Amino acid sequence: MMDRLILASASPRRAEILADLGVEFEVITRPTDESLPDGISADRAVAMLAERKACAVAERYPDRTVLAADTVVAVDGRILGKPATADEAREMLHRLSARTHTVYTGVCIINGGVRDVFVCSTEVEFYPLTDRLIERYIASGESMDKAGAYGVQGLGRVLVRRIEGDFFTVMGLPAAEVWRRLYPQ
């Protein structure tokens, strides 16, 4: 049996997913360099960031299992992280309108010094978004702390026409894959 897991993420969505799975955990985060090399692919970016976050915590807790994750949206070869301003959120939502994009979540689990890094991806198609809907969504405040400026689990669900893949990857933690790696059968 694994000792109580450390979630190296302050994301309430990741904590909610783990809690729903019945996983006992505590949240411990450390400041981490989130800069990325120019031209890095979205899948490599989330893997690199998840690994950095996990390593930053695991170095202080080497006898514990540490899980970290990072999520981005990618469209047209461009990575969309969390918007810094309402104008940036507006631009992201206009870019995603009536299109399909890919959400990548990278996960790193460190247990006994062994790193397990993996990436899951899910395709998301948006309805055409009117300016009025975008403004209403931005006014909700929900877009400001989410990759791609939307949260599929909240009001952002009205933006989504179709999802192909794991819903929880879009939320920020691919639940089934994480479970299988934490508790191998």
Which of 33, 70, 87, 116 is catalytic? The answer is: 70
Q: At residue 121, what is the residue type?
A: S
Q: Is 33 a catalytic residue?
A: no
Mind giving me the DSSP string for 21-60?
TT--EEE----------TT--HHHHHHHHHHHHHHHHHTT
**What are the DSSP E strand ranges found in 41-147?**
66-75, 78-80, 100-111, 114-126
176 vs 120: CA distance, rounded Å: 11
Hey, which residues are catalytic here? 70
